[in-house]
């Protein structure tokens, strides 16, 4: 059974994996035996990630590469294939959110979120698929969201991107399943990272942020997720254990999607 989850000899590219959910998943993939490569769009974040992996005893390779820059992504993948090996596992984790009421949101802001959260995963998947076809196997894991299923105020661009990412996941499954490439999604619930920090900020009187209380009431687990909650799902979808799982989005949300929510006291 253990071998089923082994990633020994595999090369995993985890985009945006300098901290947060990406770092946690990369750490787990490394623990299962994978060689980790990651990229960020800012040098200081690449450096932050390299220091974090060193601290964890993981010999990761970092690239300065914006996932929306197709030429840069192609060059990064070519360099990885030359210096590390064919990419066996791609985790499309890099992503941003802009919380702006739609009627106030500029089209450039909307476009930037779509570029990073949807077109970036397309660009990265397109770059690694030829190598996976040549190798006769591959795993692509797209990091979706609750917003792949649900909307809420101020996140129109993000929800549109993550909804699209769910369908891109299903389409890669449909188009490349015959090459033994499995493409699945992970849909994290509300996870305590820098991206959601504004939603958890303590109020001036020390009380919980209203959104924090809202999420606690909407989650059967009655807690925010931690990046570590994504470790097992990532190893499962990256390993032989999921070779017949394709086009699926695995929600790791503490049960939010199944629950109407607790009646406020």
Binding site for ligand NAP (CB under 6 A): 15-16, 18-22, 39-42, 45, 66-68, 93-96, 116, 143, 145, 188, 190-191, 193-196
Catalytic member of 158, 176, 190, 251: 158
| Residue 99 binding partner per list ligand GCO, ligand NAP, none, with a CB distance cut-off of 5 to 8 Å that depends on partner kind | ligand GCO
| Residue 15 binding partner per list ligand GCO, ligand NAP, none, with a CB distance cut-off of 5 to 8 Å that depends on partner kind | ligand NAP
Q: Give the shortest CB-51-to-ligand GCO separation in angstroms.
A: 25
Q: Out of 138, 185, 188, 233, point to the residue binding ligand GCO (CB under 6 A).
A: 188
Question: What secondary structure does DSSP assign to the chain, as a single string?
Answer: -GGGG--TT-EEEEETTTSHHHHHHHHHHHHTTPEEEEEESSHHHHHHHHHHHHHTT---EEEE--TT-HHHHHHHHHHHHHHT----EEEE---------GGG--HHHHHHHHIIIIIHHHHHHHHHHHHHHHHT-EEEEEE--GGGT---TT-HHHHHHHHHHHHHHHHHHHHHGGGTEEEEEEEE-SB-STTTGGGTPPPTTSPPPHHHHHHHHH-TT-S-B-GGGGHHHHHHHHSGGGTT--S-EEEESTTGGG---PPP-
Nearer Cβ to ligand GCO (145/239): 145
Q: Confirm or reject binding of residue 46 to ligand GCO (CB under 6 A).
A: no
Q: Confirm or reject binding of residue 134 to ligand GCO (CB under 6 A).
A: no
Nearer Cβ to ligand GCO (62/187): 187
Nearer Cβ to ligand NAP (93/182): 93
Give catalytic residues, as residue numbers.
158
- The footprint of ligand GCO (CB under 6 A) covers 97, 99, 145-147, 152, 155, 158, 188-190, 195-196, 199
């Amino acid at each position: 059974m253990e071998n089923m989850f082994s990633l020994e000899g595999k090369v995993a590219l985890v985009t945006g994996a300098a901290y947060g959910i990406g770092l946690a998943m990369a750490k787990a993939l490394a623990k299962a035996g994978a060689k980790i490569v990651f990229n960020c769009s800012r040098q200081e974040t690449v450096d932050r990630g390299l220091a974090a992996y060193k601290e964890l005893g993981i010999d990761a390779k970092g690239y300065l590469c914006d996932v929306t820059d197709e030429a840069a992504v192609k060059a990064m993948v070519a360099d990885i294939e030359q210096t590390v090996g064919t990419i066996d596992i791609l985790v499309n984790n890099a992503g941003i959110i802009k919380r702006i009421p739609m009627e106030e949101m500029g089209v450039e802001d909307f476009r930037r979120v779509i570029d990073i959260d949807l077109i970036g995963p397309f660009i990265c998947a397109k770059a690694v698929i030829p190598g996976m076809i040549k190798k006769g196997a591959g795993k692509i894991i797209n990091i979706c969201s609750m917003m792949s299923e649900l909307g809420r105020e101020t996140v129109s661009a993000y929800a549109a991107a993550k909804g699209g990412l769910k369908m891109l996941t299903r389409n890669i499954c449909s188009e490349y399943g015959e090459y033994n490439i499995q493409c699945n999604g992970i849909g994290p619930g509300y996870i305590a990272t820098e991206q959601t920090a504004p939603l958890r900020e303590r109020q001036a009187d020390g009380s919980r942020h209203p959104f924090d209380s809202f999420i606690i009431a909407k989650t059967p687990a009655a807690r925010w997720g931690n990046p570590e909650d994504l470790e097992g799902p990532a190893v499962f979808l990256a390993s032989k254990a999921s070779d017949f799982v394709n086009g699926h989005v695995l929600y790791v949300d503490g049960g939010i999607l199944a629950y109407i929510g607790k009646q406020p006291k």
